[in-house]
Amino acid sequence: MSAARDPAREAARLREQIAHHDYRYYVLDDPEIPDAEYDRMMQALRELEREHPEIVTPDSPTQRVSGAPAAEFRPVVHGVPMLSLDNGFSEEDLRAFDRRVRERLGHEGAVEYAAEPKLDGLAVSLTYEHGLLSAAATRGDGTTGEDVTANIRTIRAVPLRLAGRHRGRIEVRGEVFMPFAGFEKLNARAQARGDKIFVNPRNAAAGSLRQLDPRVTAERPLDVFFYGVGLWEAEGAEPASHAALLERLRGWGLRTCPEARVVRGVEACLAYFDALGARRTRLPYQIDGVVYKVNARADQERLGFAARAPRWALAHKFPADEALATLRDVEFQVGRTGVLTPVARLEPVTVGGATVSNATLHNMDEIERKDVRIGDTVVVRRAGDVIPEIVRVVPERRPAQARRVKLPGHCPVCGSPVVRVEGEAAARCVGGFSCAAQRKESLRHYASRRALDIEGLGDRLVEQLVDRELVRAPSDLYALEAEQLAELERMGEKSAANLVEAIAASRATTLPRLLFGLGIPDVGEATAQALADHFGGLDALAAASEAQLQEVPDIGPAIAASVHGFFHTAAHRRELARLRAAGLTWPEQAAGASRAAQRPLAGLTVVLTGTLEGQTREEASERLRALGAKVAGSVSKKTSYVVAGAEPGSKLDKARALDVPVLDERALAELLAGRRPASSS
């Protein structure tokens, strides 16, 4: 090979041959040559480029892994936003979607849809300039993603140069995933090395693609399917249908899902959904539903978008996965307010693509209602990232030695008595801050983003601070010194200094944040804001009677008793005094319901769903409350608006079902300016 008269021409010939065989293998799944012959060509190209480094090109298959590890991922703004899809969870949701499409298009007959599996992976956008891969980014928040170009180049199914002749720039969209076979091999290797194993293929794919060192990504068995385009600045018009677009992508050497079909009408959509669902466990990759898209691109443009999601597409999710498991034991965990939560310890079982060994049992009432016993065979359900739960017992499989679950009489952590108030489902440890478990959870809550927002005070650090008796109450945090913190595990001098600064910064807070951070039973963010609005200051609130507390909107006897009891406990009064002595300050405000009524958004109830641009949902919620609005966690007929960001959840579906106005982020900006917009959908 080294004797070749024209090394550049010979290298180009080898690259063309290798690209052809990559297309046959990765896109068509129809290889023409044995692996040994492919390896021979690749080795020949490597040797040629090593002897003549001046002929190496960026799109050479030898250059898939190159460059030093990145310090961080650079932000990339998408040429066209990567929109999320509305979700449907039932046949009724699909029929409603089809009806809306036909009504908006004025179609009396059946609409043609492109249907394809909804892969459970990581969405990416790849930019090709004049046919050459120039950039790749994750979806991110839909507008800005992370630069993963070096890592994307390592995936063999991604062509470094598109087939054919190209001029201009185009963004193609796809889903990176890890096939089950590769996932199992990856975990087997990790287990053999004693490394941590991945929970499911989606986590494995996301973690692999976001490696700072592309050499690590290259070792991971990643694959990709392409399903659409974003920015189109290439020669020629876009294809007239989604099906034709997929055909165009395949012609360029971009792999598309072989399960994609064109169907006509809602009944055909349901038939496709049922058929794919029946074969779901036999597919070589993980899916969690079906995506339907109006096939005609002209109709897509007519339908347009609403609340950052296209009106011409729907993600029809499969029902929650269920599996049988053996209940080995029930343990009780102690939460921030002393509530004991029973947790089922199960024989490990795969549910919804994840290995499940724990499940919630909620409370003793739930255990008794379902008659759950240790040793039972139980049905475990997991939907998406929701905590697995035990749905029911399989009584015919109950062994003779099955044991009833008993509520412990004493706290499993501190040994204090456990009490169960008549009429309440919860059982509580009465140890308070003398209980290490409650102390840890209380400190985590106090430092959380929506409370005092102490950045860097994570779970492991809280564990150490409590276990070493360095912190027994929130006020102790303000006496910590950098030298003490630097001695803790995984803490250096710089981290310790940063944490001391973060703790100091939390001294300047607001009354609603402080009330929420104190962890008063039954007092969430909305109640904390209502109490602050009504009483104006902490002293007036602490002195209020239960009757006065019930004058606050939406506060009944139970919450009033909880708040009154908190402020009339000597230990809590001492802690508040210590916090003030530690330098905590918060602005006092005018008291009374009239103040809230004078705010521009008074009387509105707003629900937020999805990811917002430029701010978190918590930040938006705080700004809305400051303007007088009530921010709720669930949608009801009393909801004034639902604000939908990127990847909205089921709250958006419920809003549409109840005909609640839905706002996009432009309308949210009007709200935050104190104006009441009309609905945007």
Instruction: Supply the residues annotated as catalytic.
Output: 118
Q: Are 303 and 105 in contact (CB under 8 A)?
A: yes
What single-letter DSSP state applies at residue 198?
P
| Angle ∠(254,200,381) on CA atoms, nearest 5 | 120
| Angle ∠(108,661,230) on CA atoms, nearest 5 | 65
Q: Are 478 and 555 in contact (CB under 8 A)?
A: no
Q: Distance of CA 436 to CAs 340, 341, 412, 418, 473, Å? A: 14, 16, 11, 15, 11
Q: Are 376 and 344 in contact (CB under 8 A)?
A: no
Please give the biggest Cα pair distance in the chain. 97
Q: Are strands 641-644 and 605-609 parallel, antiparallel or unpaired?
A: parallel
Q: How far is CA 11 from the centre of its chain?
A: 45
Q: Are strands 377-382 and 389-393 parallel, antiparallel or unpaired?
A: antiparallel
What single-letter DSSP state applies at residue 433?
G
| Angle ∠(429,430,435) on CA atoms, nearest 5 | 75
Amino acid at residue number 381:
R
The backbone torsions φ and ψ at residue 233, rounded to the nearest 5 degrees and listed phi first, read -125, 35
What is the spatial distance between Cα 57 and Cα 41, in angstroms, rounded to a whole number?
17
Amino acid at residue number 288:
D
Neighbours of 467 (CB within 10 A): 11
What is the spatial distance between Cα 611 and Cα 634, in angstroms, rounded to a whole number?
16
Q: Are strands 354-360 and 132-138 parallel, antiparallel or unpaired?
A: unpaired
What is the spatial distance between Cα 476 and Cα 485, in angstroms, rounded to a whole number?
13
- Render 39-79 in DSSP notation, one character per residue: HHHHHHHHHHHHH-GGG--TT-GGGSS-SPPPSSPPEEE-S
Q: Are strands 662-663 and 641-644 parallel, antiparallel or unpaired?
A: parallel
Neighbours of 340 (CB within 10 A): 24
